[in-house]
Structure 1
């Protein structure tokens, strides 16, 4: 089952790269959840596509560079880098970050729990402080946000 779970996770990244939001939702169990731990928000149901859509809008060339994959039964852990050019608005819980035109190449760790080949739980741990530093907004965060 471990190889099938790794294949399912690799497919999930491919679906996200294609910006296939309906396909992304279909990868989850009916009670599946996606938690973006950088902002502390959990998505369910149709909202599962929100983070993929948000980052696809903010980074039109969004890429997830996978570096290491660890699997143990129904759990798959992936070390990766989130890469892209910030050329669109990025919605955040505290406002919208206007496009900066800067490059992002930030570390991330994703933890997937699978059930019968579907994602039951997806915990995403993007390194938000590095993303903000690379986008040049840490020095003047208030000016970078629209309210």
Structure 2
């Protein structure tokens, strides 16, 4: 089994493929994804729907890892998510906190400024 930091790095890299099924596969069956400005979603069905909905308008995304720290089952990844959403470039600074269980993401909390994202889409 890969160590937790490698799992998170692999998950971050997988976003560039925009394959919803692959992304959901990184989570435990009861996994939680919480974009902190909005309500969390839990479980593969909800994750599939949520990720598919917001990434559906993306034509590309590449996440640059600035810092990644790992201690036990917790991994923290500071990133800049560079995405083309609805034809518009968005560079979104983020910090993700991941809690892993048996090589899968049990909880992912992402902290970012929603205004940065919405302003880029409006511009």
The answer to whether the superposition gives a TM-score over 0.5 is: yes
Match of 1:105 in 2: 91
How far is the alpha carbon of 1:34 from its aligned partner?
1.0
In structure 1, C-alpha distance between the alignment counterparts of 2:53 and 2:8, rounded to whole Å: 20
Structure 1 ranges of 4+ moved more than 4 A: none
Match of 1:13 in 2: 12
How far is the alpha carbon of 1:51 from its aligned partner?
3.8
In structure 1, C-alpha distance between the alignment counterparts of 2:74 and 2:12, rounded to whole Å: 16
On the 8 A contact 1:37/1:125 being kept in 2, the answer is: yes
The answer to whether structure 1 residue 40 and structure 2 residue 39 are counterparts is yes
Higher strand share: 2
1:113-132 superposed matches below 5 A: 113-132=99-118
In structure 2, C-alpha distance between the alignment counterparts of 1:16 and 1:51, rounded to whole Å: 14
Q: How many residues matched?
A: 123
In structure 2, relative to structure 1, the CA distance for the partners of 1:50 and 1:124 (3 Å cut) is: farther
TM-score, with length taken from structure 2: 0.85
Query: Secondary structure at 1:135's aligned position in 2?
Result: helix
In structure 1, C-alpha distance between the alignment counterparts of 2:54 and 2:21, rounded to whole Å: 15
Q: Larger Cα Rg: Structure 1 or Structure 2?
A: 1
Query: Structure 2 regions of 5+ residues with no counterpart?
Result: none
The answer to whether structure 1 residue 135 and structure 2 residue 121 are counterparts is yes
Query: Secondary structure at 1:85's aligned position in 2?
Result: strand
Query: Structure 1 regions of 5+ residues with no counterpart?
Result: 88-100, 138-147
